[in-house]
């Protein structure tokens, strides 16, 4: 639990630092955001394979955090700074994610706890970056994150399994989970609700955080398949009424519960390539971001209901096969 909580706080701090730096220095520069997202998410696939091979997960995470802090210190930066920031984000996520996966054993809850605070970090970093807040509070959080990781004793962390590429029988089901994450990413970027402003905007972000956390615990208590089926079924109904705030917030909570389930199922199916499995699904996040970057329109509640139904059609067979 100490390892999971240290990395969860660091995840909040790193995502806050990245959002702060991008919105304070690159707001209005779509090319910078494209490069940042490519190096932060798509590059996690080769970085994950490298981490699987060499180990040193904590050093990956520390290097990524320090790189983010270094870019935040720059008074201004252009495209190279966005690339460095993205690489820092990717290095941290691979290193932290691998350590949490290695420590979690056969439990999905630690992974849910690790991934969930990032949404709060992105939201707060965006607010602070647009508000031209001084950089020192962000740097203080990043230094605290580094201190927390340094307190983790490397000798007490399980080592990565020997590198082994996934078996061929896994790949078709992994492809289904990949498509689910593309859909989830697109839905998260394109969803628009009339009530999503002020305190309700914070409630929506908190629903994402709580949903990811609950998803891991529910998977451990009730099983991956049952938890995914119930959460996606209920959120489909609630999205049809998401023109109102309360059902909309509940729908977002339930929709995000499957995020740690997807990561956990694929990592368990690729024990010798957990970093690669993590990076494969973050590459899917990047693909889901592209339609919004290219100017695709927003979608409302019924569109999100359709996304949830299609996600269930793809996810449930994949989880059932990979869980055997």
pLDDT band at 113 (very low <50, low <70, confident <90, very high): very high
Beta bridge partners of 299: 191
Average pLDDT over residues 214-239: 94
Report CA 179 to chain centroid distance, whole Å. Answer: 15
CA nearest to 222, candidates 122, 322, 109:
109
- Read off the DSSP letter of residue 299: B
Q: Which residue has the higher pLDDT, 66 or 168?
A: 66
Asked if pLDDT for residue 312 goes beyond 70, the answer is yes
CA nearest to 176, candidates 302, 281, 44:
281
DSSP three-state, residue 191:
strand
Q: Alpha-carbon distance 178 to 61, whole Å?
A: 24
- pLDDT on residue 216: 93
Q: Alpha-carbon distance 149 to 156, whole Å?
A: 13
Asked if pLDDT for residue 324 goes beyond 80, the answer is no
Phi, psi of 299 (to 5 degrees): -125, 150
Domains present along the chain, CATH in parentheses: 2-156 (1.20.1250.20), 168-322 (1.20.1250.20)
Q: Which residue has the higher pLDDT, 151 or 218?
A: 218
Say if residue 278 is exposed, middle or buried (CB neighbours under 10 Å; 0-12, 13-18, 19+). buried
The answer to whether 185 and 285 have CB atoms below 8 angstroms apart is yes
- pLDDT on residue 221: 93
- pLDDT on residue 228: 94
State the pTM of this model.
Answer: 0.92
Asked if pLDDT for residue 320 goes beyond 90, the answer is no
Q: Alpha-carbon distance 22 to 29, whole Å?
A: 9
Q: Which residue has the higher pLDDT, 14 or 165?
A: 14
The answer to whether 67 and 85 have CB atoms below 8 angstroms apart is yes
pLDDT band at 155 (very low <50, low <70, confident <90, very high): low
DSSP string, 36-78: HHIIIIITHHHHHHHHHHH--HHHHHHHHHHHHHHHHHSS---
- Read off the DSSP letter of residue 317: H
- pLDDT on residue 154: 66
- Measure CA of the first residue to CA of the last residue in the chain; give whole Å: 27
CA nearest to 95, candidates 124, 70, 58:
58
The answer to whether 308 and 232 have CB atoms below 8 angstroms apart is yes
Report CA 46 to chain centroid distance, whole Å. Answer: 17
Helices (H), 131-273: 136-150, 171-190, 199-222, 224-239, 245-256, 258-269
Window from 12-21, 105-114, 128-137, 147-156 with minimum mean pLDDT:
147-156
Q: Alpha-carbon distance 121 to 119, whole Å?
A: 5
DSSP three-state, residue 140:
helix
Q: Compute the C-alpha angle 236/113/232, nearest 5°.
A: 10
Q: Alpha-carbon distance 141 to 296, whole Å?
A: 35
CA nearest to 283, candidates 195, 208, 178:
178
Q: Alpha-carbon distance 272 to 266, whole Å?
A: 11
Asked if pLDDT for residue 265 goes beyond 80, the answer is yes
- pLDDT on residue 103: 86
pLDDT band at 148 (very low <50, low <70, confident <90, very high): confident
CA nearest to 54, candidates 88, 102, 95:
95
Window from 9-23, 95-109, 161-175, 301-315 with minimum mean pLDDT:
161-175
Average pLDDT over residues 145-169: 77
Q: Alpha-carbon distance 229 to 39, whole Å?
A: 33
- pLDDT on residue 26: 84
Q: What is the pLDDT of residues 42-79, one digit of tens each?
A: 999 999 999 988 888 888 999 999 999 988 888 777 88
- pLDDT on residue 104: 84
């Amino acid at each position: 639990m100490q390892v999971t909580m240290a990395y969860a706080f660091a995840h909040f701090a790193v995502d806050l630092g990245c959002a702060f730096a991008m919105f304070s220095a690159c707001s209005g520069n779509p090319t910078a955001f494209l490069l940042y997202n490519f190096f932060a998410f798509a590059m996690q696939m080769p970085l994950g394979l490298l981490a699987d091979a060499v180990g040193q997960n904590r050093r990956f995470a520390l290097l990524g955090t320090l790189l983010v802090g270094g870019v935040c210190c720059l008074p201004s930066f252009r495209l190279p700074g966005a690339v460095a920031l993205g690489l820092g984000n990717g290095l941290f996520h691979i290193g932290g994610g691998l350590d949490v996966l290695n420590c979690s054993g056969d439990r999905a809850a630690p992974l849910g706890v690790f991934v969930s605070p990032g949404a709060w970090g992105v939201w707060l970093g965006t607010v602070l970056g647009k508000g031209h807040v001084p950089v020192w509070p962000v740097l203080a959080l990043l230094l605290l994150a580094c201190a927390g990781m340094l307190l983790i004793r490397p000798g007490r962390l399980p080592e990565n399994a020997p590198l082994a590429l996934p078996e061929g029988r896994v790949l078709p089901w992994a492809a289904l989970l990949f498509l689910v994450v593309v859909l989830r990413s697109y839905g998260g970027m394109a969803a628009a609700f009339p009530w999503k402003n002020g305190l309700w905007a914070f409630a929506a972000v908190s629903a994402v955080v709580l949903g990811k956390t609950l998803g891991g615990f529910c998977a451990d208590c009730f099983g991956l398949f049952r938890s995914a089926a119930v959460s996606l079924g209920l959120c489909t109904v609630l999205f049809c009424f998401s023109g109102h705030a309360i059902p909309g917030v509940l729908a977002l909570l339930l929709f995000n519960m499957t995020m740690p389930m997807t990561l956990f199922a694929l990592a368990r199916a690729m024990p010798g390539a957990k970093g690669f499995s993590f990076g494969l699904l973050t590459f899917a996040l990047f693909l889901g971001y592209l339609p919004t970057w290219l100017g695709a329109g927003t979608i409302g509640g019924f569109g999100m209901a359709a996304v949830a139904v299609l996600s269930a059609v793809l996810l449930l067979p994949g989880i059932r096969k990979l869980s055997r």
